[in-house]
Amino acid sequence: MSHVPSRVLVTGAAGRLGSEVLRVLAAQGAAVVGLDRVDPGGVETFFTGSAADTALVAEAMRGVDAVIHLAAIPRPTLGTPEEVFVGNTAATFVVLDQAARAGVRQAVIASSLSIIGLPFSPTPAVPHYVPVDEAMPFQIADPYALSKQADEATAAMVARRDGMAVVALRFPMLGELDFLAENAELFRVDPGAGAPSLWGYLDMRDAATACWLGVTAEVSGAHALYLAAPDTLSPYPTEELVDRYLPGTPRHAPLPGRTVPIDTSAAQALLGFTARHIFEVTPAELGES
């Protein structure tokens, strides 16, 4: 059973994912409050500024019954280590703390596959095993991944303290069709370039749908969930990619064909989420690369 929020605050509303989330919310008939540093227009109620601004967030939270928190510096290279870690974690704390104070009962926050520590690792790293799942230990060595770990800890704290349900969506690489096509070609020419991200992806439309499911599903407590399309963005067999580019990584389950080495069963079980927009990649033999 699910409930439908009547008024949703979306932080990072002007971003690529935020813009798609606004379209999903409009299609669902939910009233939207947007918050971002830049007003993209088209949102009836919009607050311009930082998601770490307590007074601004408190004002934006009035009358809201669900929150989708997407505002963040999305890569460790887009700011100093202090800006990335402190900025991201401060925004998440302020948004969730103010949501709890306003009586909001359900929230989604954008986490990341990067939390495992591979995508932005300053040194070579391989996962403890594949497919990656929520039980796998982290190998964090960069401020962005560390900020996501802190964000998820904040979600767990608010869930315990205030009884708010918080779903942290561990997104893989997100993209629209042109972006996915560029990366599919990159992974064809240089398969190793996709290893840190486990060759995974998710269409931006599916990511936005997952956000909606996160604020409408009947859940309690804090949950962190991996998401991905079922197949990789690489044309080569996953088992061969793992052998070549993630040497020595144990396999806890078979990875036939181009199966993504990310276990998304928890998101399916909790939210009923299944990726629907699959990027068409023509399979190939790894020896062709």
- Which pLDDT score, from 0 to 100, does residue 19 have? 96
Task: Decide if 217 contacts 262 (C-beta within 8 A).
Answer: no
Split at pLDDT 50, 70, 90, the class of 120 is very high
pTM: 0.97
Can you say how many angstroms the Cα of residue 134 is from the centroid of all Cα atoms in its chain?
A: 14
Q: CA 13, 34, 116 angle in degrees (round to 5)? A: 40
Q: Is the pLDDT of residue 227 over 90?
A: yes
What is the percent of the chain with per-residue pLDDT over 90, rounded to a whole number? Answer: 94
Of 216, 209, 208, 219, the C-alpha closest to 270 is: 219
**Annotated active-site positions, please?**
144
Split at pLDDT 50, 70, 90, the class of 288 is low
DSSP state of 226: E
Tokens representing residue 44 in the block = 């009836």
Please tell me the CATH code under which domain 7-286 is placed.
3.40.50.720
Split at pLDDT 50, 70, 90, the class of 70 is very high
Sequence length of the chain is 289
What is the percent of the chain with per-residue pLDDT over 70, rounded to a whole number? Answer: 99
Q: Is the pLDDT of residue 30 over 70?
A: yes
Mean pLDDT of the chain: 96
> For the residues of 41-88, what is the DSSP string, one character each?
S--SEEEES-TT-HHHHHHHTTT-SEEEE--S--SGGGS-HHHHHHHH
Q: What is the largest CA-CA distance in the chain?
A: 58
- Which pLDDT score, from 0 to 100, does residue 2 have? 62
Q: Is the pLDDT of residue 172 over 70?
A: yes
Report pLDDT digits (tens) over 232-268: 999 999 999 999 999 999 999 999 999 999 999 999 9
- Over residues 36-63, the mean pLDDT reads 95
Domain chopping of the chain, boundaries: 7-286
- Which pLDDT score, from 0 to 100, does residue 285 have? 87
Q: Is the pLDDT of residue 166 over 60?
A: yes
Q: Is the pLDDT of residue 205 over 80?
A: yes
